Amino acid sequence: MPRKKAEKDEEREHRISMEAIVDAYGPEEQAMGWYYYLEDKISFPFQGKCILERKISPLKLKEVVDVIEMAPEDECEREMFVVIRWMDRELAVPLVQLKGIKVDDETEEAIGDWHYWMEQGYELG
């Protein structure tokens, strides 16, 4: 998933280290830290717009979907996924693909934190 590396954002780095992955000593603990951070900060449901196509997802650039919840924990061990309504069913897609539309500040910040983490090239496991 080639993406342009974001400039270092010290405020984001601090928030991520103190809220999302605090006390996380391995990839599994980081994944669960991220999972609960996002689940706590994001106000579901919300509308999301696809900003990045991925081979593992059917979403097309600029497609708008209803995002209803975090995917199950076991789906988020290497990357964060959210559940969307898509073509009469529910499907998990990578959160990095989506930008919130008219979301509250906390939701926007949390999604932005995950995007930043991915753009920096950090990984879970």
Tell me the domain boundaries of the chain.
10-119
Contact 41, 56 (CB under 8 A): no
Residue 1 pLDDT? 46
Inform me whether the pLDDT recorded for 6 exceeds 80. Answer: no
Contact 119, 5 (CB under 8 A): yes
Instruction: Tell me how many degrees the CA angle 65-125-114 measures, rounded to the nearest 5.
Output: 35
Confidence of residue 4 (pLDDT cuts 50, 70, 90): low
In 33-73, at which residue ranges do the beta strands (DSSP E only) sit? 46-50, 64-70
Domain 10-119 in CATH 2.30.30.530:
yes
Q: Is the peptide bond before 45 cis (omega within 30 degrees of 0)?
A: yes
19-70 pLDDT, tens digit each: 999 888 888 999 999 999 999 999 999 999 999 999 999 999 999 999 999 9
Inform me whether the pLDDT recorded for 72 exceeds 50. Answer: yes
Q: What one-letter code names the amino acid at 109?
A: E
CA atoms of 86 and 36, how far apart (whole Å): 24
